[in-house]
Amino acid sequence: MAVLPSLEEGANCQLFAYEVLRYFGLAPPDLRSSELWADTQATARVSVAQPLDLVLFNSAVDAYGAHVGVWVNEGRVLHLCAEVGRPVVWEMTEFVKRQRYRVLIGIKRVVDKTQDTVG
């Protein structure tokens, strides 16, 4: 299992998504996208997204190097977008329009919570 760097070392879509979940009291595992997709201890695959689920996209049906975002609601995903240069919320249709995000790999729900939850 590879350990992911922290946001202090620079942001990427996955680190950003994990920090959003941590802010809301969830404990995502420090796994790269392919490891995250295979994980069954800290996350579960789900077919219907709920707020704060992780959503993985790629240009092919392969979780390796997948783009990771956070489900907000009603088909909207918050993600750190290199194309825009900042976090944005896109409708699912926006991902399909782009070659690099056109395949929805799937949805993962973090099942582990931190000791100190927000709220």
Q: Write the CATH number for 25.
A: 3.90.1720.10
> What 3-state DSSP class applies to 115?
coil
> What 3-state DSSP class applies to 8?
helix
Tell me, what's the pLDDT at 117? Answer: 45
CB atoms within 10 A of CB 24: 15
Tell me, what's the pLDDT at 101? Answer: 95
As for how many domains the chain has, the answer is 1
Residue 52 region by backbone torsions, left for phi larger than 0, else alpha for psi between -120 and 50, else beta: left
Tell me, what's the pLDDT at 13? Answer: 95
The answer to whether residue 2 is domain-embedded is: no
How far apart are alpha carbons 118 and 65 in whole angstroms? 30
Angle at 70 between CA 65 and CA 73, to 5 degrees: 140
- Per-residue model confidence as pLDDT tens for the chain (119 residues): 444 555 555 689 999 999 999 999 999 999 999 999 999 999 999 999 999 999 999 999 999 999 999 999 999 999 999 889 899 999 999 999 999 999 999 999 999 766 544 44
CB atoms within 10 A of CB 103: 17
Strand runs (DSSP E) across the chain, as ranges? Answer: 43-46, 54-58, 67-73, 76-81, 86-91, 103-110
The answer to whether residue 56 is domain-embedded is: yes
Domain that includes residue 100, residue range: 11-110
Tell me, what's the pLDDT at 119? Answer: 44
Q: What pTM, to 2 d.p., does this model score?
A: 0.86
Tell me, what's the pLDDT at 10? Answer: 62
The answer to whether residue 81 is domain-embedded is: yes
Tell me, what's the pLDDT at 11? Answer: 82
